[in-house]
Chains A and B, each alone.
Chain A
């Protein structure tokens, strides 16, 4: 197979491949092709949505950190920040609901604690197909059990969420998970590789062959046979995540950390490339030094693996011993795998050979960006919808009350430990938003997630506005906005 053909199989278009060759001035190696394809996948590069996401309002007096880091942070007063993020894990959850949802929770937790914030609560927003569709029970129970299995074990309470059933999700469920943590505003950790010659450490679980090309998969359309993609779904280990949370937060106290980032989609590749990009540096790593759990892994496999519960940390020179002290105590794997350079290149060695040497910018700022053609969907050009004949209203009311979309969610939230941490003041089922007291403080934050997807389907602009308005009302109902010193924030 020639490289161009291989590029196609990796999801790159002819144009994209030519663009890469033109910048490089040569053909990429096999390993480089793998790295390019994941970094340029929709999942990692946001190449088709970036132009639109830029339109969000992201500044304000309370914004400590806007987009660009692992999570956002808002000022909640008294030197504290709420660090939070929401992320979807739709495709993995459709293929393997338990592990897909579980690793979604794991990933979002890492995005929050990597900033130095101890996670205090999680939420989820779920969409399933029709309740009588043959796949729905399997997907529903698997996703709920996966969120419970992971969240309960790590000891972060899952305090709320929302669930809707609609036939439009029969072939593509939506699994969104949210986590919020609290950090000191002056000690938020960033995913940055700074300094030259500073050591780069890999910590957490060993790298296996699981999840290779997960990011590429997540960017694809689902078709018949997508269940066969199971090997690209990762398997979570919440026990190890719990150890990783404690170990990372402990290491943060020592002052040894310059930058830290979770290995999420595209694993070791995206974490190191993004850290070098933010630091305006380069990074050199030796695959032979990466802790692995399988024999004979190629550089390609190690770089693209999406094994879970792994972090990359840049350590201040002279502080290397602290990594060993903390990570040996928590019995996690660690290795000094490379160092920060001034070459602005992503340089990977294996068995003494340079197997990948790409400019960091090629993988980040020079990745393709598209403003895709837009057209108003045909359904919105139709004449105004007419009222369906509801029949006798008393019977319609009974049908309405029987709808799975407005039924009690007790079956779900009772499977989530929603009290661990002693922070949950307003429990699931008791209010429109969960209220969490801030550890060691006399204050609380309210968090909620809500969206009427049907409104968005019928009118994307108005529907999205209504979603923001609705979740804001959810928050206000708890008194969070009125209390003044409580800080309101909403998401989605």
Chain B
């Protein structure tokens, strides 16, 4: 299966995501930010990094890029899209997912492992987990503090859209939210980096399941 990895100017986890996609048997394909044809792809990854420098609000410039119009159509057709870290920020800025990501409570960039719980397996990227699975993944961000108004939070909970929750909230996110999905479960956004935990050589391979799940979902 061909999986698109979008490359915005400033993306820096694009090659990492492509590497892991190859490991799980997918064929990664880089999609330049000016490309608009995604029809041949089975899934799309919005990788981490600093799209367009993120000098404005994170993801605020990426949302008006040509590729994001195509990603909107791709997602609307029910096809799987995952945003990791900066990709998650881009998904909320693009309103493909609700809420917003603010500066961490510590006001610092944080690169460390966090303990998480899989809250929803009804998504294209978490179907391979057992519900309630506890896992450890790295985070690396300065704006990972997820926020949403009370009604929005209630809706997320009601529709099972909270995908990942921190066990020890590192950044002030409401509801300890680390990742969410849209109602259909084909669009997922998460701050932790599963691609950094997909090889035993690096000490942790639990992140592979996110990528394997979407391959099974599509086939």
Q: Which residues of A contact B (CB under 8 A)?
A: 145, 148-149, 152-155, 237-240, 242-243, 330-331, 413-422, 424-425, 437
Contacts and interface: CB of A to CB of B under 8 A. Distances in A.
Contacts of B52: 239
Given A417-B111, A437-B201, A422 B55 contact: no
Interface string B1-44: 00000000110110110011000000000000000000000000
A239 B10 contact: yes
B140 interface: yes
Chain A CB within 10 Å, residue with most, of B12, B49, B111, B196: B111
Given A152-B109, A237-B53, A422-B195, A243 B9 contact: yes
Given A153-B50, A239-B10, 8 more contacts: A239-B9, A243-B10, A415-B109, A420-B16, A420-B196, A422-B20, A422-B195, A422-B196
B10 A242 contact: yes
B202 interface: yes
B109 A420 contact: no
Given A419-B111, A422-B202, A437-B201, A155 B9 contact: no
A486 to B, nearest CB: 15
A422 B201 CA distance: 10
Interface in B183-205: 193, 195-196, 199, 201-203
Nearest to A410: B112
Taking chain B's interface residues, is the majority helix, strand, or loop, or is none over half, making it mixed? Answer: mixed
A330 B34 CA distance: 11
Interface footprint category on B: 20 to 34
B108 interface: yes
Contacts of B83: none
B153 to A, nearest CB: 28
Contact of A422 (B9, B16, B50, B54): B16
A419 B196 contact: yes
A424 B20 CA distance: 15
Contacts of B87: none
A414 B50 contact: no
B110 interface: yes
6 contacts: A242-B10, A242-B12, A414-B108, A417-B140, A420-B140, A422-B202
Interface string B101-114: 00000001111100
Nearest to B11: A155
